[in-house]
Amino acid sequence: MLVSEMNGIRPVDAGRQDCHDLHSWGPGVRQCYIIHYIISGKGTFTCGKKTYTLTAGQSFLICPEQVVQYAPDENEPWEYVWVDFVGEQCRQILARSVLNPQQPAAPPLRQERLLPYFERLCQMELYRRNSQEAVGVLLALLGVYQDLAEPQREERKKEDPRIMERWL
């Protein structure tokens, strides 16, 4: 059995974009999940009716069939890396992440935690082949986002003791 079959997730493409030319996208709808990680600069991301102003170190998530738009700041345009992925397990994996459909913008995270995974995926030329190694790198990246959500879940449990009752 292949790793991608076990996890129901597969990277489609990855890349890096320097937006000094003010490259923007949308409004529109994508057909896959996309995570962007901002390396430098700043910009805005609109998902539905909510707009987020984002800066270096932050990430944002695009989910399939959501109307989104994103654009760099004119004075300090962002540079970001991104990965597209698909699969039947995506929603469940992201639900336990600091970056999820209900919270599509993550707080700033250190580059050394995330950037190596994005850079590795960019080097793999995903669109040319179906790589099980790439699935592993994507799962490791998503694991970092899940690990970062753990303190938030613990904090919510402290705030509402009924949450623990629901788990039991």
Q: Which CATH number belongs to the domain containing residue 96 in this structure?
A: 2.60.120.10
Measured between alpha carbons, how far is 22 from 76 in angstroms, rounded to an integer?
10
Split at pLDDT 50, 70, 90, the class of 159 is very low
Residue 92 has pLDDT above 70, yes or no: yes
pTM for the full predicted model: 0.85
55-70 per-position pLDDT tens digit: 999 999 999 999 999 9
Residue 166 has pLDDT above 50, yes or no: no
User: In this predicted model, which residue has the larger pLDDT, 158 or 4?
Assistant: 4
**Contact of 66 with 88, CB cutoff 8 Å:** no
CA dihedral sign of residues 99, 103, 104, 105: negative
Phi-psi region of 57 (alpha: psi -120 to 50; beta: other; left: phi over 0): left
Measured between alpha carbons, how far is 1 from 138 in angstroms, rounded to an integer?
18
Per the structure, how many domains does the chain have?
Answer: 1
Residue 6 in tokens: 């076990």
**Contact of 99 with 106, CB cutoff 8 Å:** yes
Residue 95 has pLDDT above 50, yes or no: yes
**Contact of 76 with 18, CB cutoff 8 Å:** no
- Predicted local confidence at residue 149, as pLDDT: 87
The torsion of the CA quartet 138, 140, 142, 143, rounded to 10 degrees, works out to: 160
Contacts for 133 with CB less than 8 Å, ≥ 6 apart: 124
68-79 per-position pLDDT tens digit: 999 999 999 999
Domain interval for residue 83: 3-167
For residue 126, the SS3 value is helix
120-134 per-position pLDDT tens digit: 999 987 655 667 889
- The mean pLDDT of 43-55, rounded to a whole number, is 97
Split at pLDDT 50, 70, 90, the class of 154 is very low
- Predicted local confidence at residue 4, as pLDDT: 54
Residue 155 has pLDDT above 60, yes or no: no
Measured between alpha carbons, how far is 82 from 70 in angstroms, rounded to an integer?
13
Alpha carbon 112 to its chain's center: 16
CA dihedral sign of residues 105, 110, 115, 118: negative
- Predicted local confidence at residue 6, as pLDDT: 62
Measured between alpha carbons, how far is 40 from 116 in angstroms, rounded to an integer?
15
Residue 50 has pLDDT above 70, yes or no: yes
- The mean pLDDT of 99-108, rounded to a whole number, is 94
- Provide the residue type at 159 as one letter: E
CA dihedral sign of residues 105, 106, 109, 113: negative
Split at pLDDT 50, 70, 90, the class of 153 is very low
